Structure 1
Amino acid sequence: MNLSRRDLLQAAFASGLSFALPGLDLRAAETRGDERQKSLIVIWLGGGASQLETWDPHPGTKIGGPTKSIKTKLPGLEIADLYPRVAEHIHELNVIRSLVSKEGDHERGTYLLKTGYRPDPTLIHPSLGAIASHELPNDKLEIPAHISLLGGQFPARGGFLGEIFDAFKIYDPSNGIRNLKARVGDARQQKRLAGLDIVTKSFQTGRRVQVENTLHQLTVERALRMMTSEQLKAFEIDQESQAIRDAYGDTQFGRGCLAARRLVETGVRAVEVTLMGWDTHANNFEGHKTQAKELDPALAALVHDLKQRDLLASTLVLCIGEFGRTPKINGLDGRDHWPRGFSCLVGGGGLRSGVVLGETDTEPLIEQDANKSTAMPHDPIEVPDLFATILRQLGVEFDKEVLTPIGRPMKFSSGKPIERLIAST
């Protein structure tokens, strides 16, 4: 990936705002289990995966289509037969089958499912990862605390917390991060920096306060620190054994999930890995078979790897998209947008495991247009409640009220934690 100077400085700034605040020291970075500070990995299924072809199949029914189900390690739970590897590890997570939303448009749905709020023309809300990196700083981290792998049309943003908390975007971790090494020798680099220092001090004359408010010098220092950081090795997934790489799958997404594990192991607070291609208005069943070939090995390997390394207890994993797909199969053998009863996987980070929440009907009374349908799942779960649960488990005050740049008080989440997912202490 090629980085512009602006990208590099923004990334360094994003990773460095918290340098003066408490965070993991180097010894803590080696800590395992529940004593380690929490991190978040979001597996983003861009386009909206079908609940019926993933975690909530209804084989043999009018709405089920050709998708079959298989048993899992969790007694009584069956998922789509496209996910035999996930079936072996899903007991480490929880399944929510009754998420509900009022947003059936990609952009608006993505906004809600990444921030916990519906779009508001007066402000931009921060994503889960931005909140986590803002509230849980790591003063020893020399690379960005909030990272997005493989991109997508609507990346996670810092919102009213500031652009410095936008996810640092890397589109293919297997290519590494280019333009982080000086293009000249050390001696010449030092001369360049000395020259920059002279220019900076000259510019500061008579305008010191204004210059300090730009944080220019601090940003440059942090950019230089990132360029020489050993923590950049977290992106070097070729350092993993061939067996580990094979387990994740030889795909960009598989490599992204492996990089995500390495990043949280290094101390990165939040990582989002995107797998696009779920918008199956046509050829839904073949489309989901194709997607599953990437998602099944990578997600299963990620959960297993985190568990084996004693990192699952400190790493929340959320696998979700902007909505589900309609129970009704359209004339193109596809499924359309459906925000009224879709599924996600969530677990780790000290949450309970093996919990299945919600239920969808096998013969729902629906209209094809999700915006007109009144169908609702049993035990509906609101998105803000899911977000409040995740923030609470990360150690963030989920209902903390902050003042936005326009002077408007706003809570990180308007929901309440789902107590059935919270482990008793």
Structure 2
Amino acid sequence: MEPLMNRRAFGALGLGTLAGLLSARLGLAEDVATSVGPTKGIIVLWLRGGPSQLETFDPKPGKRIGGPTRAITTSAKGIAIAHHLPQIAEQMQHLSLIRSVVGQEGDHERASILMKTGRRPEVALSHPSLGAVCAHELDVAGTEIPRYVSILSNDPTSRGGYLGQSYDPFRVGDPANPIQDVTPNVGDARQQRRLEALEVLENGFARERPEIDRRTLHRERTERAIQTMSSTQLEAFDVEQESRELRRAYGDHPFGRGCLAARRLLEVGVRCVEVALDGWDTHIDHFDKIDSLCRPLDSALATLVKDLRDRGLWEHTLVFCGGEFGRTPRINGTDGRDHWPTGFSVVLGGGPLAGGALIGETGIEATDDEPKDPVPVADVYATLLCGLGLDPATENMTSVGRPVKLSDGKPIERLLKA
């Protein structure tokens, strides 16, 4: 038997098709408010490809493994970083640096899953990324648009996992461009007629297929998509509303605009925004590429920290910057660095996290593969959860009835303010 609302009838509505497409993209989280705390959300700056710690936050000037990179002092006592990042150096007193992160994966996809979920990949279970957890666990607070947004990335490791597709991120490109699938292509009167026709079809489908209607949450997702399409909160994506001076400070590039949009999105209630900066997989001509990669990172991250502080948002927002792994101390035969999951760097701050702290130390030889004070990826993940006011021991139930903790990691107490 054909379903009452078949493809032809639904497609004829136009608006129904648009709302359906949007609802699939939005990652519209169900209204679950299980935690209300002072930290309202997190901005993840994802350096896709595996950034080199030696050319960013753990330089080794004058050493064979260090290459031509110089070290510069920062506003944080005892912390020096690469000369490619002078603006970030000025903000390091507000950030903490872990130089000894250790993972167990050297493949891009598997390592990305580990970093974003705090767990190694499993065949039988897809774990949700941090953004999905935020959308599921943190207070809704009147947010009408998706609470998990991914900018400049189609990375499938950002996902709802066992929480369901409704917690997948809403993906957008450069904020300089209009958002797709959110603007009706007809006038208000015709749109209203389509909505009324859609309601007739929805009611009929619910009568004839009640179990499917309940299981798929089709009506709820469509209603939320329509709500999003009419929400003024979508204006948060429009970075042109900010001053020219501030836009210039973030940087006239997609990553800078993405970071500015991230701040605006958190102001209207989005709980996690990922902004991706691609190109860090530098197996070849590594040193020729580093400057062009660090330049947008430097302006965007430094201005984001300053902007959040200026607007009184720093105590309510976490910022995390890192990638799936680091790069080898050894320079290969094509003047590049290869994958290195042992002893790489991440930067984090905001909310209840300490500023100006330094954890871990890596060696000065190419063969040094055991950092001092190693920090497992799971512990970094658990620390971020605690910074968001979430208990890593909180359990969610999978679709097959398996209870799973948010994290098996141990929070890094040194980074959590008393």
Match of 2:24 in 1: 10
Residue 183 of structure 1 deviates from its aligned partner by 1.9
CA RMSD of aligned residues (A): 1.8
Match of 2:282 in 1: 280
Alignment of 1:15-414 (within 5 A): 15=28, 17-18=30-31, 21=33, 36-366=38-368, 375-414=369-408
Distance 2:129 2:77 in 1: 34
Question: Quick one: which amino acid aligns to residue 249 of structure 1?
Answer: G
Distance 2:93 2:187 in 1: 53
> Deviations along 1:357-411, whole A, 9 cap, x unmatched?
0001112535xxxxxxxx2100000010111111011011211122211222211
Cα 1:220–1:356 change in 2 (3 A) is same
Moved more, 240-249 or 193-202: 193-202
Q: TM-score, normalised to structure 2's length?
A: 0.92
Moved more, 74-83 or 152-161: 152-161
Cα 1:211–1:4 change in 2 (3 A) is closer
Residue 211 of structure 1 deviates from its aligned partner by 2.1
> Deviations along 1:184-228, whole A, 9 cap, x unmatched?
222221211111222222333343343233322222221111111
Question: Quick one: which amino acid aligns to residue 377 of structure 1?
Answer: P
Distance 2:34 2:227 in 1: 19
Task: Flag structure 1 segments of 5+ consecutive residues without an equivalent.
Answer: 25-34, 367-374
Q: Secondary structure at 1:390's aligned position in 2? A: helix
Question: Quick one: which amino acid aligns to residue 199 of structure 1?
Answer: L
Distance 2:147 2:96 in 1: 26
- Number of residue pairs aligned between Structure 1 and Structure 2: 402
Q: TM-score, normalised to structure 1's length?
A: 0.91
Q: Secondary structure at 2:379's aligned position in 1? A: helix
CA contact (8 A) 1:11 1:144 kept: no
Residue 11 of structure 1 deviates from its aligned partner by 4.4
CA contact (8 A) 2:129 2:157 kept: no
Cα 1:153–1:46 change in 2 (3 A) is same
Distance 2:63 2:21 in 1: 51
Distance 1:264 1:237 in 2: 13
Distance 1:184 1:254 in 2: 33
Distance 1:381 1:326 in 2: 18
Question: Quick one: which amino acid aligns to residue 23 of structure 2?
Answer: L
CA contact (8 A) 1:148 1:155 kept: no
Question: Quick one: which amino acid aligns to residue 310 of structure 2?
Answer: Q
Cα 1:4–1:100 change in 2 (3 A) is farther
CA contact (8 A) 1:23 1:140 kept: no
Question: Quick one: which amino acid aligns to residue 188 of structure 2?
Answer: D
* Aligned-residue identity in percent: 49
